[in-house]
Amino acid sequence: MPGLVIVGAQWGDEGKGKVVDLLADDSDVIVRFQGGNNAGHTIVRDGEEFKFHLIPSGILHADKVCVIGNGVVLDPAILLGEIDGLRRRGIDVGNLKISANAHLIMPYHVLLDTAGEVKLGKLSIGTTRRGIGPCYADKALRLGIRVQDLLDEKILRTKIRAALEPKQQALRELSVRRRKMRKEAGEGSERGEAADQSVDDTPDPRLDLHSMVEEHVSFGHRLEPHIADTARLCWDALDSGQAVMFEGAQATLLDLDHGTYPFVTSSNPIAGAATIGAGVGPTDIDEVWGVAKAYATRVGAGPFPTELEDETGRRMLERGREYGTTTGRERRCGWLDLVALRYAVRLNRMTALTITKLDVLKGIDPLRVAVRYRSKEGAVFDRFPYHQSILHSAEPEYEELPGFDVDVEGARSEAELPPQARAYLDYISDFVGVPIRLVGVGPDREQVVWIGDEPRVQAA
């Protein structure tokens, strides 16, 4: 299978980084095709933890080419920080290639993201405030700054100037609205309001055109050895029979078009987007593997039918160490939602599933899985509802399965898993209609169980 896509099958944080790291053994090229540093992939190798936000998870394989595709939006300061951090730990990053067509997150994108969330107040969607949405918006508005622009100071200055003026106006308007809201809420004394106004009216030094151009030219000098025509790189690899793995960030239910809008990310994390975000054709994709936890989690706002706000949910959070890699926020935890998982399987046309964190469920009995929803009017839905009003008020209906009370961290084969755990996995596979090929039984790279023969990603 020379073209393999790895996608998240839930709301993110499923453990895609570990799966990519494992399958990278038999891959030649690993491509990140969307998202930005709002993502976080954690890999544990030999007890050492690595956290990635922009760099593909396959970077720990020095003999593999790692690509940041054109569909990614990247903050150059964050990327260089990751590169420097890896170098300090003795990791060679000479194999990292960055698409010249990828768009840059600029300082004004971060400011707009934060100001927009503050303005929404209780209606905020829970973004990471990393500038991802405003950057993708500028890309669609054709006001974006691309990686290749870092290599031409004249073009860079012209493009930043064109993009900066409407951003400054928008930020001023948001400041005025924020002061008005504070005044209406009776916050602060006259002296405090005056001080607040003087601060808001002071130009942000991060938005100085000259400083921004100088800083980004400097970024360009450092990144230039990595900048490449990455689409052609992928074509050459695929045409020569090499194995290319496409790595998504976030997950299916956060997809801009097909997720729980508006509580979604600003790009398309589904498998079909790999072709656009990497610059390859649909027929270059041979396999799609989805990654799901043995339970469910979600970060930020938005519907989550199977959420548990009880001791069981807290147990999942603590045992699974469910804290955001990017934000540090506690993840909301709940039972596995098979209605949503079956939706993700079909939407991505998955050929296989990976189930992670099975070990977290030890000692929970019975185990529940959602198999349908019931609306507040009493209507039953055995398919994922397209209408947001239904999903927001849907109550899950569960099937109960026996739990297991033995450790699975040491299991390395299906036969070493307790029968209840095997029955749980079989139920999931039968319900969603695809085989489970890999099961995670602990945080370390070696704590996995292959179901059936361990695949070789390399083409014959």
Active site residue ranges: 13, 41
- Torsional sign, CA 309, 311, 313, 314: positive
Question: 91: phi > 0 → left, psi -120 to 50 → alpha, else beta; which?
Answer: beta
Kindly report the backbone phi and psi dihedral angles of residue 187, in degrees, each rounded to the nearest multiple of 5, phi listed first: -85, 130
Residue 311: exposed, middle, or buried by beta-carbon count in 10 A (0-12, 13-18, 19+)?
A: exposed
Count of all residues that appear for the chain in the document:
460
Q: Are residues 176 and 165 in contact, defined by beta-carbon separation less than 8 angstroms?
A: no
Q: Are residues 78 and 54 in contact, defined by beta-carbon separation less than 8 angstroms?
A: yes
Q: Are residues 44 and 445 in contact, defined by beta-carbon separation less than 8 angstroms?
A: yes
Q: Are residues 19 and 438 in contact, defined by beta-carbon separation less than 8 angstroms?
A: yes
Tokens describing residue 207: 């938005």
Taking CA atoms, 404 is separated from 179, 407, 417, 422, in Å, by 56, 9, 10, 10
Mapping DSSP to helix (H, G, I), strand (E, B) and coil, where does residue 149 land?
A: helix
Kindly report the backbone phi and psi dihedral angles of residue 322, in degrees, each rounded to the nearest multiple of 5, phi listed first: -85, 75
Residue 459's CB is within 10 A of a number of other CB atoms, namely 16
Tokens describing residue 283: 């027929």
CA torsion, ordered 185, 299, 375, 424, to nearest 10 deg: -160
- Torsional sign, CA 145, 146, 150, 156: negative
CA–CA separation, 456 and 27 (whole Å):
9
Q: For 143, which DSSP code?
A: -
Give the residue from 105, 172, 165 showing the smallest Cα distance to 139: 105
Maximal C-alpha separation, the chain: 75
